[in-house]
Amino acid sequence: MKHLHVTGCGRSGTTLLVEMLRSSFRHEGPAHHETSILEIPPRGLSVHITKHPGEAAFLWPLLEADQDLYGIYVYRDPRSVICSVHAKAKDCYAVNFSSWKKQQKLAERASRHPKLLVVCYEKLVTDPDAVQNDILQKFPFLELTGSFSTYHERARPSSGAIQALNGFRALDEARLQPWRHHLPRVKEQLNRHPEMADELITWGYEADRSWTGLLADVEVCSHEVWAERGLHLLKQLDQWQRRKRRLRKRIASDAKGARSGRE
């Protein structure tokens, strides 16, 4: 079985990509909205496609441990990420720049792994079929069933996916820079994380810092963030501890499976 897993910082487009993959390549097994890379995949399938955001830390060790595991990491303009709202909590923003930066740094090492492909969200939206071709070249075991550019005609997203997408729709380039409508939020995060300006240059989103002129007369105000809400934060900490235990279990399972295959 070939297992292809998609991850990235939350609100970076992982749901969109996995819906495009599932509607455009042949696959088997349960198509849950989110399935952790730490879950031991079902056996006996040809191609299994899953996704879960925030799992960059697990990419390298599991890509090494499981010969049948392959990964895609999705990144997006951090200004759009920090200005995104999840339907589960429409009264606040979803994540801060620190979350984006953490996942990007973790993904930098994993990006050197031969079984991982890094995908830019903006290219996925503006030139979906070119990204699909990149995926086919990287993972030749995939069998094409349709084009990314027409994925919305075939996709059957779950209620959870529709919620994460804030509504299912065709690709729309006009929605690529939502941060321009949330300048107070961008300025507040830039003040807290001035390195964001350098990261935008590093990742090719800006040639210089001239874009910050848009913020000159913008009044800064604080914003509540879903990922930092008390109960949600405690839940995240508990999940992280459990994930570390599951990582060890998954690696042990992969090692046992590899030994059985050799015997």
Is the pLDDT at 204 greater than 60, yes or no? Answer: yes
Q: For 211-228, write each residue's pLDDT tens digit.
A: 999 999 999 987 788 766
Q: What is the pLDDT of residue 139?
A: 98
Phi-psi region of 29 (alpha: psi -120 to 50; beta: other; left: phi over 0): left
CA distance 85 to 11: 8
Q: Where are the domains of the chain?
A: 2-262
Predicted TM-score (pTM) of the model is: 0.90
Q: What b/e sequence results for 246-263 when a residue is b if at least 16 CB atoms lie within 10 Å of its CB, and e otherwise? A: bbeebbeebeebeeeeee
pLDDT at 231 over 50: no
DSSP 166-208: TS-----GGGS-GGGG-HHHHHHHHHH-TTHHHHHHHTTS-SS
The more confident residue out of 142 and 258 is: 142
CATH architecture of 2-262: 3-Layer(aba) Sandwich (3.40)
For residue range 141-187, what is the model confidence (pLDDT) as tens digits?
999 999 999 999 999 999 999 999 999 999 999 889 999 999 999 99
